[in-house]
Amino acid sequence: MKEITIDQTKKIIFDYVNKLVKQHKVDPKKDIFNVILPLENNQAISCYVGPNEDGERAVEYTGYGQNYIMPQLKNTVVNIFEDK
């Protein structure tokens, strides 16, 4: 199994975000979004782009060791801004 570094995963995510920018799906200077890079052995790297605890624009990477990605629910969305 191929092993890569955290810096290599950051480059893969950076390239993917650039692809999304070219497709006009995200604006990395304004939008708040996450990119998840799933790996073997249920590992994943998450990249969050948006405000940090101080309200400053930030890019934060988090590694996870045990992830289970469920199938996408078709024709379904959630109002993530709903206050309850």
Tell me the mean pLDDT in the region 25-45: 94
pLDDT of residue 69: 87
Phi, psi of 29, deg, nearest 5: -90, -15
Number of domains in the chain: 1
Tell me the mean pLDDT in the region 71-83: 84
Dig out the tokens for 36 from the structure: 């998840």
Domain membership of residue 16 (yes or no) is yes
Put the strands of the sheet holding 44-51 in their side by side order: 33-38, 44-51, 57-64
Domain that holds residue 31: 6-64
Domain membership of residue 74 (yes or no) is no
* Chain Cα centroid distance, residue 76: 20
pLDDT of residue 76: 92
Q: How many residues does the chain have?
A: 84
* Chain Cα centroid distance, residue 45: 8
